[in-house]
Amino acid sequence: MNFDSLGLAAPIREAIALAGYTDPTPVQAQAVPEAIAGRDLLVSSQTGSGKTAAFMLPALQMLHNALNDKAHA
């Protein structure tokens, strides 16, 4: 699985790639699509497993969607 399959917008995927990341961690692969779909999550995982990005990437996606919706209104 790669970041392209998580449902993230192109600018977010490009920023991830520029930061040097190619594949999501297991916690990101499971959590990001669920969070984007609006589901509540309870995540427990080891330090360094990618939990912060698993939370922030969907938040960035929601901001991206809101800005796009506003721009097209």
pLDDT of 42: 94
Three-state secondary structure string covering 39-72: CCCCCCCCCCCCHHHHHHHHHHHHHHHHHHHHHC
Q: What is the pLDDT of residue 6?
A: 96
State how far Cα 56 lies from the chain centre. Answer: 6
First to last CA, the chain: 34
Cα–Cα distance measured from residue 70 to residue 14, given in angstroms and rounded to the nearest whole number? 22
Dump pLDDT digits (tens) for 9-68: 999 999 999 999 999 999 999 999 999 999 999 999 999 999 999 999 999 999 999 998
